[in-house]
Structure 1
Amino acid sequence: MASNKVLEQHIAVFGESGSGKTVMLSSFYGSEQEPQNIKEGAFNVVAEDAGQGTRLHQNYLGMKNSATLPDATKFTATSYRFLLKLKGESESKPLKAKPFDALRLVWHDYPGEWFEQDVSGPEEASRRVEAFRALLASHVALLLVDGQKLLDNAGQEERYLKSLLSNVRNSLVLLRDDLLSEGKPLVTFPRIWVVALSKSDLLPDLDVNGFKELIIEKVGDEIAGLGGVLSGLVESDGALSVGEDFVLISSAKFSPGAIEVAQRVGIDLVLPMAAVLPLERHLRWARADKLTTGVAKKLVGNAEVVAAAIGVASGVVAKLISKKSKIAGAVGLVLSGLTPKLEDVIKSAGAKLEAVDAAAATKRQNLAATLDGFRIDLDVGEEKAVLLRSPG
């Protein structure tokens, strides 16, 4: 959970075996380790597990220098924790001594094989349930559509897409009883399911709008069916976006004997989607009165961290936190006092910080600027037809 030191966001990546999950993760982490990014970026991305970081960086360098793809992982559910260490004053002080020294991205990688075939026995069935429980804290889920398989089924894309969505839907149906304690719907659950086209470099003429149209035309009913299954798992099922957001992903440009890792598409949107997209959507759902008490508590908890980080509405936050037992009655206070200010500050943080001397910038200001930079990244992604966010 998020603390008063780190803003923590979770993302879960779902895709069948061979859809590019490992390559995508390696491209994300490895590109952040490039000397130029380390030197010039507003933050440094550090793997909390050094061994994981070394393996991912090794995968990336293998692609970059030897055109070698990383080995596929099978039946292995892994969570990767990355710290985004913000640059600025007091850089040398311990994390615990500084307010909001970092953002944390937790990346959950769910084995594609568990969508495609039955488990081998009770032990594997138990591991599958535990793996899914581990990613319930995710704010965003990426559902990967394999660009190679779309090409293989050109003209009959629905054959592949229906199989993919049916496998995901059926897996969730099988997990339902194990995930719901006494049948009670889940408060914490990935509520934004983004449909992502992996290996998008194989389909250079398909922008995100065309991708959305392809999905809706070929498998609109299946998307609705998946949404129905997910809505049966969560409290406040109106606060759920399934197949309303789309993104193109390419981990590199692949050609015979060469992998050009610098030519990425959508990888740079992973952090903004994890950090900002949920905040935007939570605000929208709160204003539309789609949140019950339990889900509202979660929203207030996230808002508390961000508001404290960027120095907004601290008095309102304190009142809310003191009234957690009466949080339903406090939702109006969130809307009237906290969230409009929070949204406005995130949107205008960049402009407000232009006048701040960089040498005197605090970690609080750096976090505000980073969130604003992420918001801008999402806007640019839409302008380039790489990202398409839900309008509702």
Structure 2
Amino acid sequence: MPPLDLHVAVFGASGAGKTVLLAAFYRAQTQPSFQEEYAYKIQAVNKAQGNQLLGRFYRLEEGKFPEGSTRFDEIEFDFFPRDLPEAAVRVHWYDYPGRWWEDEPVDAEEREAMRQGLLKLGMSQVGILLADGAKYRSEGTGYIRWLFEHFADECDRLRRTSAATGDEVSFPREWILALSKADLFPPDYGARDFEREVCRDADDQLAKLCSVLRAEQAFGHRFMLLSSVAAPADAQVDPRTSLGVRTLAPAILVSTVEGAVREAQATRKEKSAKETFFQGLRDLVQFVDSVDDFLPKRYQIVSKILRFVSFKDFASTRVDRLKKVREDALRRGDTFKAVLTGMVAALRDEEGLRAYHQNQ
């Protein structure tokens, strides 16, 4: 059976840390210690891309931070359960250069590359907007307001200019707002604190951005802290100091499921206004066994996910219970359940609780 496909688009201004994040994301989850603890590992589908990412990370250990990417990158990762040969999930990672949101294309070739890259937005279940933690720490809420205003204006411009050329841009409906360079903040600072500050001080800008993206619930309820590496001025980078990197793929998975629930709820006229996400998920599960095409194509993956992970796992199952379910699945050779249950468990461990917060 082919792996499940998850598509994620990552955005951020130049210097926000997208290039470093990708290298740290890949390196951390290819290590034997990660596979032992989380029961899965990842592998780049393209060997050359995997080697390039590892090379970037090892240069990071020497204190050599890579230059930001100036081109659109598409990288595919397969997620393999521990000791099982078959991939369970394939993540398609679309990395949009920060310069594309700041400058005009330099020539016709770059203009075409931008057009092709933006068309892939419609395939993405989840978008990640990366806020620069260093700028947020030094400039405060004014930086976040600027980021939302700038991103909203650029999305609106791209939508209008692409429509004029016959290429309608479709943005992801589900988003995660992530704060990079989280090692610059106190150890007790968590994603919940970031959420409180943003929702308190930039609510008008959030509303504008959601309106431009035509997704009223897109921003404002999923927040992450990400520290790819700690970078002390007088020491080498310690690869064990990352935060949130291991939580990122599970957050994308859960966001995809939540998006599908909202899509399904929106099509039901009899839905109660007070219906919770988990009530909607329960209804969604009831449809799965008999109907595969009731959702838009990019969300049909969810019908497969829900065959292997109980909706209770998303709601309240304890970490120790999830880990037991995961180990049982490994013994049975149940590829999908092992990886997906492992990801849900990662949101509930100590790092996941600090790095990821959802307020709805």
**TM-score bracket, shorter-length normalisation:** 0.7 to 0.9
C-alpha separation between the residues in 2 aligned to 1:78 and 1:163? Answer: 26
From the superposition, tell whether residues 28 and 355 of structure 1 become closer, same or farther in structure 2 (CA, over 3 Å). closer
Partner of 2:346: 377
- CA distance, structure 2, for counterparts of residue 265 and residue 275 of structure 1: 18
Give 1:247-286 correspondences, 5 Å limit. Answer: 247-256=224-233, 257-286=235-264
The range that moved more, 76-85 or 341-350, is 341-350
Q: How much has 1:285 moved relative to structure 2?
A: 4.7
The answer on whether the counterparts of 2:125 and 2:174 sit within 8 Å (CA) in structure 1 is yes
**Superposed displacement of residue 357, structure 1:** 8.2
Give the RMSD, CA atoms, in angstroms: 3.5
C-alpha offsets along residues 306-358 of structure 1, whole Å, 9 cap, x if unaligned?
A: x9xxxx98xx657424xx5x889xxxxx99xx899952476668488479485
Cα distance in 1 for residues equivalent to 2:327 and 2:108: 61
Secondary structure at 2:119's aligned position in 1?
helix
Q: Does 1:320 align with 2:291?
A: yes
| Superposition deviation, residue 179 in structure 1 | 4.6
Structure index of larger Rg: 1
Residues 25-46 of structure 1: per-residue CA shift (max 9 Å, x gap): 0001011232433566522311
Alignment check: 8 A CA contact 1:144 1:196 kept: yes
Alignment pair present for 1:126 and 2:112: yes
Over 3 Å counting, the alpha-carbon distance change for 1:5 and 1:222 in structure 2 is: same
Is 1:20 the counterpart of 2:17 in the alignment? yes
Q: Which runs of 5+ in 2 are unaligned?
A: 270-280, 297-301
Question: Which of 77, 84, 102 pairs up with 2:72?
Answer: 77
2:196 matches 1:230 = no
The one-letter amino acid of 1:190's match is P
Deviation of 1:61 after TM superposition, in Å, equals 1.6
Give 1:243 deviation, angstroms. 2.6
**Partner SS state of residue 259, structure 1:** coil
CA–CA distance in structure 2, aligned partners of residues 44 and 269 of structure 1: 13
Alpha-carbon shift at residue 202 of structure 1 (Å): 0.6
* Aligned counterpart in structure 1 of residue 174 of structure 2, from 187, 192, 205: 192
Structure 2: how far apart are the matches of 1:241 and 1:362? 36
Can you list the C-alpha shifts for 1:106-135, whole angstroms capped at 9, x where unaligned? 111111112222333554333222212123
1:241 and 2:210 equivalent?
no
Q: Please identify runs of 4+ aligned residues in structure 1 that moved more than 6 A.
A: 181-186, 338-341, 345-349
Deviations 1:254-288, CA, capped at 9 Å, x for gaps: 10232111111111111101222211342255246
The aligned residue for residue 331 of structure 1 is none
Say if 2:330 and 2:338, in contact at 8 Å, map to a contact too.
Answer: no
Report matched runs for 1:304-343 at 5 Å: 317=288, 319-321=290-292, 324=293, 342-343=310-311
Between 343-352 and 269-278, the greater mean CA deviation after superposition: 343-352
Could you tell me how far 1:252 is from its partner in structure 2? 1.3
Q: Within 5 A, what are the aligned runs for 1:56-95?
A: 56-64=53-61, 66-74=62-70, 76-88=71-83, 91=85
SS of the equivalent of 1:142 reads strand
- Pick one of 83, 96, 102 that aligns with 1:116: 102
The separation in 1 between residues aligned to 2:348 and 2:37, in whole angstroms, is 22
**Pairing partner for 2:135 from 149, 167, 176:** 149
3-state SS of the aligned residue for 1:275?
A: helix
**Contact 2:11/2:127, CA 8 A, preserved across alignment:** yes
User: Take 1:59 and 1:290, find their aligned partners in 2: how far apart are those partners?
Assistant: 48
User: Per the alignment, in what secondary structure is the counterpart of residue 379 of structure 1?
Assistant: coil
Residues in 1 aligned to 2:329 and 2:238: alpha-carbon distance in whole angstroms: 38
Structure 1 pair 53/352, CA: closer, same or farther in 2 (3 Å)?
closer
Kept in 2: contact 1:276–1:371 (CA 8 A): no
**2:133 counterpart of 1:136:** no
**CA shift in 2, pair 1:381/1:228, >3 Å:** farther
Q: Give per-residue Cα distances to partners, 1:60-86, cap 9 Å, x unaligned.
A: 12223x222223222x11011001122
Aligned letter for 1:77? Answer: F
1:210 maps to which of 188, 193, 203: 193
**Alpha carbons of structure 1 residues 35 and 67: separation in structure 2 relative to 1, 3 Å:** farther
- TM-score w.r.t. length of structure 2: 0.80
Deviation larger for 267-276 or 169-178 = 169-178
> Contact 2:6–2:90 at 8 Å: present in 1 too?
yes
Q: Where does the alignment leave 5 or more consecutive residues of structure 1 unmatched? A: 96-100, 232-236, 292-302, 329-333
